[in-house]
Amino acid sequence: MKKFISIILIFILIIGFTPISAFAAKKPITDENTMYSYINIEWWKDLNDPILTEYLIKAVQYNKDLKIATLKVEETTEAKNITRANEMPMLGVGAVPALYKMPAVTKSEGLISVPLYANYELDLFGKNRDKTKAMDKLIEISRQKEKAAYISVAGAVGTTYYNIVKLDKLIEVQEQIIEERKQIYDLMQLSNKEGLISTADTVTAQKAYIKSNSDLIELRKLRERMLNMLAVLTGDSPENSKNYERISYDELTINKGIPDSIATEIITSRPDYVSAEKMIEKTGLDVRAAKKEFLPTFNILGLIAFNSTKLLKTMNWTNSFALLGGNAMLPLFTGGAKTANFKLNKNKYKQALEDYQNTNLKAIQEVNDALCGLKLDNEKYEKSLEIFNSEKKEFYYTNLKYKEGIISNLDLLQKKEALLSTEKLVVADKVDYFINQIGLYKATAGGLN
C-alpha cells in the first residue's frame, strides 16, 4: 500500500509542477529600439529638423495612446496564458473537517481529511495546443496593431508640426496683407472725399480690410488648436504648448525626392496587411480546434486523501486513501453546440479571407493615392512658385513705374496685396509637399528609406 501511495504522490507532483516552468510565457517587452524601429526614426532624421525629431522622441516615450497599445499586447499575452492553462494539469489540496455519528452509537466523532489531487487532460489530438497556437497569432496581431499605432502617432506629430510651421508663415503674411489693406482703405477714404472714387469702392475696400482681420483671427485660432494637439500627441499638457519651438518656414528645405514607383512588396510589411494574414492563420487554427471538439477527451486522475480523527496524526500512511485512474469521454448530445461552434469558426475564417483580400486592395490604393498626390502636389507647388516669381517681377516693374510717377501709390499697394496673396498659396503648397511625404510614409508603414 505504501509503495502504491508513493507512486500516486510522485505522479501528482510530476504532472502538477513540471509543466509550470515548461509552459511559462515570457512577458512582452517593447523596448526603445523597437519603438524607434516602428516609426523608422532614421527617415525622420533625414528631414534635418532636430526640433521635429525631439517631438517624435517625446511622443514615443509619453504618448498615452501608445502606452495603451503596448498594454494591449500584454493583455493579449495574459489571455494566451489563460488558454495555455488548459494544456497544464490541475493540482489541488484541501482540508475537510467533519463531525459524524455512526448508527447505534451515541457518541459523535470528529474527523479531518486532507485530499491532494491532480487531473490532467491528455491532449492526444492537439486540440488544446491548437487553441494556444491561435492565441499566439492574436499576440502577433496585437503587435502589429501596436506598430500601426506608433506609425499613426508619428505621422500625426509630423503633420501637426508642419501645419503649425505653415500657419506661422501664413499669419506673418496675413499681417502684411492687413497693413496693405489698411493703407488702401485710408487712401480710398481720402480719394472719396475728393470725389475721385465712388463710395461703393470705399465700402468694398473697408470690407476687404475687415475680412483680412477676421482671416487673421481664424489663422491664430487654428494655430492654437494645432499647438494643443501637438502637446497631447507628445504626452504634454496643452497649457505648455505656447512655448513650443518649431523651425521657421524660410528654413524649410526639401531634402527628400519623389520615388518614381514603389514596389508592391512594401505592402506586405504594413501592419494591417500582416494582421489580416495572421487572422487567417488564427481562424484556421480555430476551425481545426472546433473539429477536434467532436473527438473524445482523455483524462488522468490522481488522488491521495489522509483521514484521521486526530489532527496531529492526519498525515499518516495507515490513514491514507489513494486512487489513480483515468477516463475517456465522448458527449453524444450537446444540443447542437459543437456543430454550431464549428460552423461559427468556419464563418469567421471566410470573413478573415475576405478581409485579407480587401486589405490588400486598400493597401495598394492608399500607396498609389499617396504617391500620385505627392507627385501632383509637387507640380502644383512648382507652378505656384512660378506664378509667385512672375508676380515678384511684375511688382518690381510696378514699383519702378510708381517711382517714375506713372502710377499712383494706390496701384502699387494693390499690386503688393496681390503678391502677398500669391505668396500665401506658395506657402501652403510647399508645406503640403512635406505633409504629402508623411502621407506616403504612413501608406508604406514607414517603409521608405
* pLDDT tens-digit readout, 113-149: 778 888 888 989 999 999 999 999 999 999 999 999 9
Residue 22 has a pLDDT of 46
Contact by Cβ (8 Å): 8, 322: yes
Calculate what percentage of the chain has a pLDDT beyond 70: 90
Q: Which residues does residue 324 pair with via DSSP β-bridges, in sequence order?
A: 302
Does residue 110 lie in a domain region? Answer: no
Beta bridge partners of 327: 299
DSSP 275-318: HHHHHHHHHHHHHHHHHHTTS-EEEEEEEEEEEESSGGGSS-GG
Residue span of the structural domain in which 163 resides: 37-62+125-295+343-443
For the chain, what percent of residues have pLDDT higher than 90?
62
Question: So what's the pLDDT on residue 20?
Answer: 46
- Locate 236 and state its grid cell: 504634454
Is residue 113 included in any domain, yes or no?
no
The set of cell numbers assigned to 269 is 510589411
**pLDDT at residue 19, as a whole number:** 47
Cα 249 from Cα 158, distance rounded (Å) = 14
**Cα–Cα distance between 392 and 335 in angstroms, integer?**
83
Length of the chain: 449
What is the CB-side half-sphere exposure of residue 198 using CA atoms within 13 A?
A: 3
Phi, psi for 327 (deg, rounded to 5): -150, 160
Q: Is residue 42 part of a domain?
A: yes
What pLDDT does residue 279 have? 97
pLDDT tens digits for range 267-319: 999 999 999 999 999 999 999 999 999 999 999 888 887 776 655 555 566 66
* Distance from the first to the final alpha carbon of the chain: 74
Distance CA 29, CA 42 (A): 22
C-alpha cell at 102: 455512526
Query: pLDDT digits over 1-52, tens only?
Result: 555 555 555 555 555 554 444 445 555 567 888 899 999 999 999 999 999 9
Tell which residue, 194, 56, 159, 191, has the closest CA to residue 370. 159
In a domain, 317, yes or no: no
Higher pLDDT, 223 or 402: 223
pLDDT, position 90: 87
Instruction: Please report whether residue 376 resides in a domain.
Output: yes
Residue 178 in any domain: the answer is yes
Report whether pLDDT(84) > 50: yes
User: How many other C-beta atoms are found inside a 10 Å radius of the C-beta of residue 266?
Assistant: 16
Q: What is the mean pLDDT of residues 83-97?
A: 85
Q: 167-200 pLDDT, tens per residue? A: 999 999 999 999 999 999 998 898 888 888 888 9
> Hey, is 107 helix, strand or coil?
coil
* pLDDT, position 265: 85
**pLDDT (0 to 100) of residue 334:** 84
> What integer pLDDT is reported at residue 323 of this predicted model?
82
Q: Is residue 69, in this structure, part of any structural domain at all?
A: no
In the prediction, which pLDDT does 256 show? 80
Q: Are 215 and 174 in contact (CB under 8 A)?
A: yes
| 203: in domain | yes
Q: How many domains does the chain have?
A: 1
Contact 301, 118 (CB under 8 A): yes
Q: What is the CATH number of the domain that holds 196?
A: 1.20.1600.10
